[in-house]
Amino acid sequence: MIVNAEKDIGVVDDNDRRGSTTIPLKQQHFVLVHGMSGGGWCWYKIRCLMENSGYKVILVGHSAGGMSVTQACHKFANKIRVAVYLAATMLKLGFWNDDDLKIGVPDFSKFGDVFELGFGLGHHNPPTSALVKKEFQREIFSHLSPHEDCTLAAMLLRPGPMVALTSAKFRDDGEVEKVPRVFIKTKHDKVVTPEQQEAMIKRWSPCTVYELDSDHSPFFSTPFLLFGLLVKLAASDVGCTR
């Protein structure tokens, strides 16, 4: 998402609790939402590029995080200038039927038994969390990314909540259509496949579609191209006729 600041905002760095950084009036903020098992660390390359260029990243993210972006668009449409879906789940109303699950949830069956499951409510109940096993992580998430980034990811990936992945549902109140949307496709994605991306784009057409020659982790595999697209979006007047 790109949001417009209505006033100066103080942002406190967790590594330096002594003070805050004041963001100038009307400066645009990138709010990047990470996906399941990920974290703000996913975006460290993009954050560095943005901050060196004068942008301030106040929150970070992608992938299943698309549902959080959609939820924000439903609730705060007047605060969001543009919503950007980076190989992300883009379903207008969330998960209501089998078709939604088919195009919005990754299918890793061709890789075999890839998950380490957590049973927070006991083994007699469905699993509550999942994490892709380390031996599959590079092949699935970042097969075109530098090895050092894959090593970082393997150290930091954490189990993601199962319920959060498929239980998101939204009411069609019309607010969400007020927010221009951009979808950035990832050509060699093995998580949200190109076929799934196309299906979501066809069902709920965004204003603009871009494509990166990347895996599911373009913040690792094509950071400069991704940064260029985000800066371009921030500088342009994104809009479309509904």
Residues taking part in catalysis = 63, 189, 216
Report yes or no: 184 and 211 within 8 Å, Cβ to Cβ. yes
Q: How far is residue 109's CA from residue 39's CA, in Å, rounded to a whole number? A: 25
Report yes or no: 87 and 67 within 8 Å, Cβ to Cβ. no
Neighbours of 177 (CB within 10 A): 15
Neighbours of 55 (CB within 10 A): 21
Matching residue, tokens 């049973």: 119
- DSSP bridge pairs for 186: 212
Q: How far is residue 194's CA from residue 192's CA, in Å, rounded to a whole number? A: 7
